[in-house]
Amino acid sequence: MHFVIEVDDLSFYARLNVPAPTLCPDCRHARRLAMRNERTFYKRACNSCKKSLIAYYPQEKPQVVWCPECWWSDKLDPFQYGKDFDFSRPFFEQFKEMYVKVPTLSLDVVNCHDSEYVSYCGDDKRCYLDIAGEANMDCYYTKFVKYSTNCVDCSFLYNSELAYECVNCHRVNNCSFLNRCLDCHNVHLSYDCRGCTDCFGCWNLRNKQYHIFNQPYSREDYKKKIAELKRNSYATLELLKKEFARESQKALVRFAQLTNCTKCTGDVQEQSKNVKESFDITKSEDSKWLCDVLDAKDCYDLDFSLYKPEQSIELISTLNMTYSGFCNASHFCNHTWYSDKCNNSSNLFGCIAVNKKQYCILNKQYTRESFDKLRTRIIEQMKRAGEWGEYFPVGTSGFGYNETVAQEYFPLTEQQTKSKGFPWWDKPPGTRGKETLKPYQIPDTIEEVQDSLTKEILVCVCGRNYRIVGYELALYRKMGIPIPRECPECRHLNRNKIAGERHLWKRRCCCNGETSSKGQASREKESETIHGPWPVYQNTTSHFHGKNPCPNEFETSYSPERKELIYCEQCYNAEII
């Protein structure tokens, strides 16, 4: 795939003394994600204390796995596994040999209580299958949810309570099936609503109350109509979803959700400046190719990196890394390169599980002078071998490609994976064919469900078995939500689709400018040629381009094949704000 290296990119690479990349942004992204297993869990024993635990690695893999108590204790001496650099062999080969031997954390979690199967989380309480969460309480089957309580099946949700199947939302309460909504209470099955209360099946509303499918009602009529909808019925809810999908085609879609941003491209960014081709970003500047990153400054190619990363390149699952590159799951380090699970350290190169140290290479301690000399020689060797400036090869971590986040965003079949030389793990966790209850046997409404359902084994359309656990059932009852017919993994993948693609296409604004009903027919015909076979929105207000088609072009994560009405910022604000 062809890709462009711009002048600003070359300047960045020169400052970090790394060459320009040889792979396109997507391939670099997939390679990093292949280092991160965040939701494929196994039961096994700690290789140190032998107690039973939940880990990213099954017992049969050669990786040494320790529980957090052992790993963070004085029992782990990373220098025990140190080695001299062999200049007759590639760096990546030597690093991988050491990777298998150095004990790794069973799960990457910090200060989580009464929380099982949580991953890359901090300060969670009573959570289950919460991924990349922070300071959540009683949240289940969630991804990148922060400071929230009593939420189920949500992704990219912040400061919310009592939420179900909400994606890209902030400060919502007692809401379900929302996408890109802010400051809403008791709003359900809606898109792009802000400051709304008691609404159902709505889109593009601002500070409204008592609306159903964008039609206003009195308080009494609204409550009567909502009761008639019977959204606590699974069969009825599925019909309502289809109706909403059809009706919400009238919604206007802003080409990108860029809030208080300057010179940014990508989607779902806040308070950022000069951040290009990046997604789910907050308070960052002068950076490029970031995903799920907070407070970055002058960084390229980062994933899941938080707490002020600066002057860094190719990091994943890190906190507060500065002047560093090509690291995984390392925190509060500076001048650290090609390292894994190192913490509170500086001037490391090729290290694993080194904490509160400096001037180390391949887990061996050096003086500052000898460190600098050896590091320079190793980099020269890596340059000759074509390794310097490249991230760890897929498979370094010991994960199968299908166990990692790479499979979510860049899916491959087993045959495709092996043809690329990537590892594949053919013993995934979970069961099939063990169900005790068929989908049609599940009660239609949540009121009909008995406590005994938690003892049953259900089956998803994908064939995987799953259960409904007690606290999950309690929340469904509290919110009036029927029992889901899909397993948590399929529900998660569906939310990924709703969240949006992490790729940009060049598009033109769908606004044609005409306002008469006569003009609408001509616009529809024209839109089939320009935008595809779907209607163009009939403007209700004057736009800067008058009755002519909007000339604005932009980069958007909505591909040309999609049927949403994609508007530029100016036209969107003229209609919605």
> What are the pLDDT digits (tens) for 466-509?
999 999 999 999 999 999 999 999 999 999 999 989 999 999 99
* C-alpha triplet 387, 391, 394: angle, nearest 5°: 105
Give the DSSP letter of residue 432: B
pLDDT at position 534 over 50: no
Bridge partners of 11, per DSSP, are: none
For residue 259, with 0-12 CB atoms within 10 Å meaning exposed, 13-18 middle and 19 or more buried, which class applies?
middle
Give the model's pLDDT for residue 300: 98
Structure tokens at 393: 């090869």
Cβ density class 22-44: b for 16+ within 10 Å, e for less:
eeebeebbbbbbbbbbbbbbbeb
| Stretch 307-328: mean pLDDT | 97
Angle, helices 368-385/91-101, rounded to nearest 10 degrees: 120
pTM for the full model? 0.91
Supply 331's token pair. Answer: 């925190």
**According to the model, what pLDDT value does residue 576 have?**
86
How confident is the model over 42-58, as pLDDT tens digits?
Answer: 999 999 999 999 999 99
State residue 543's pLDDT score.
Answer: 85
pLDDT of residue 528: 40
Where does the pLDDT of residue 539 fall: very low under 50, low under 70, confident under 90, or very high at 90 and above?
A: low
Write down the pLDDT at residue 540.
Answer: 55
**Looking at residues 356-372, what average pLDDT do you find?**
98
The pLDDT value given to residue 514: 56
Q: How far apart are CA 35 and CA 114, in angstroms?
A: 27
Which range has the worst mean pLDDT, 187-191, 226-230, 299-303, 554-558? 226-230
Would the pLDDT of 522 be above 80?
no
Contacts of 138 (CB under 8 A, 6+ apart): 125, 126, 127, 149, 150, 151, 471, 475
pLDDT value, residue 541 = 60
Q: Are 505 and 555 in contact (CB under 8 A)?
A: yes
Query: What pLDDT score was predicted for residue 147?
Result: 97
- Does residue 530 carry a pLDDT above 80? no
Q: Which two tokens stand for residue 68?
A: 């957090």
Residue 16 reports pLDDT greater than 90: yes
pLDDT at residue number 96? 97
Instruction: Work out the mean pLDDT of the chain and round it to a whole number.
Output: 93
pLDDT band at 512 (very low <50, low <70, confident <90, very high): confident
428 in helix, strand or coil?
coil
- The span from the CA of 334 to the CA of 407, in Å, is 30
Relative to beta strand 465-466, strand 458-459 is antiparallel
Which whole number is the average pLDDT over 114-124? 94
Check whether 537 has a pLDDT greater than 80.
no
CB 130 within 8 A of CB 114: no
CA pair distance 304, 391, nearest whole angstrom: 16
* pLDDT higher than 50, residue 363: yes
The residue extents of the domains of the chain are: 439-499, 505-576
